[in-house]
Amino acid sequence: MAVADMIGEIVYVNGAFVHKDDAKISVFDHNFNYGDGVFEGLQAVSGGVFKLRQHIDRLYQSARFLAIQIPMTIDKFMVDVLETARRNRLRDGYMRPVVSRGVGPVGVRNMDELGPPTVVIIAQHEKIEDRRSAFESGVSAHVASVRRIPPECIDPRVKSCNYINNILAYMEAKHAGAHTAIMLDMQGYVSEGYGNNLFAVKNGVLLTPPIGNILAGITRETVIELAGALELKTVERPMTVYDFVNADEVFESASMAELTPIVEIDGRKVGDGKVGQSTRRLHLELRTLMESGRESSRISNR
């Protein structure tokens, strides 16, 4: 799909639905100048937004931590997300709600002069076919030298718009010829990917780094629930690169990435270098849940 065809025509900006060419944010917005805001990534599947409530709850929790007062209720925000999707005739794709601290004079010292928070919701058309090759063949990963920001600096459960260390890790991976990045914490344990959570399978057990130095991913939580239903034991524990390199299977999870198999880490094959059976089973169960609509909020076609 061409990039121009992916971007939704209608954008929600501060209570109004406007054409994308008219969707403007001030250069004095605190998010533009400082990355001072929060966001979520939502997936639309078969005419429904998957786990919308959980994502918007997390958005509000992140905003509360940063002392940003979102100027509407959670229920109203959910309605606006679904209306943005409806106006874009979104059936499969991506939703990006963003909330910044607001507009005002430049300078952290002038934060008391900022106006009300800026709220934007963007829609983007994407289909599973656009990612199918990654699901079926797997991707390569590079262990980045860029470390995950530790909880001593900011709690990793906050999904903030300050994404520079994730971006640097991704750029490093691309320069190394890999598709994705594996990030370590300050102690050298594996934390997460540049924008996803990480899992390994070893001897029939699902392993994943614990909450503490990672984002509490909603897809991550769903994977653990699905593993339980499949009687696949899950263990959350500190893990090093050694654990991932010597695993039978490795995959990353995220809202749009779903479950993407990692078949190579810094030139070393994971297992037999092919997508593993447990990864396939879990991804099939995840897709089945998404497409069923049981945990999705429907996009109205009125």
Diameter of the chain measured on Cα atoms: 58
284's CB contacts (< 8 A; 6+ apart) are none
Distance, in Å, from the CA atom of 91 to the CA atom of 82, rounded to the nearest integer, reads 11
- Alpha helices by DSSP H, listed for 218-295, are 218-229, 241-245, 277-292
- Alpha helices by DSSP H, listed for the chain, are 3-6, 30-34, 52-65, 74-87, 132-137, 164-175, 218-229, 241-245, 277-292
| Cβ(74)–Cβ(97) below 8 Å | no
Catalytic residue among 159, 174, 233, 269: 159
CA 286 → CA 58, 102, 254, distances in Å?
20, 37, 11
Distance, in Å, from the CA atom of 215 to the CA atom of 167, rounded to the nearest integer, reads 16
The question of whether 159 is a catalytic residue gets the answer yes
The DSSP bridge pattern shows strands 258-265 and 10-13 to be unpaired
What interhelical angle do 52-65 and 74-87 show, nearest 10? 120
CA 24 → CA 12, 84, 176, 216, distances in Å?
10, 16, 36, 31
Residues classed as catalytic? 159
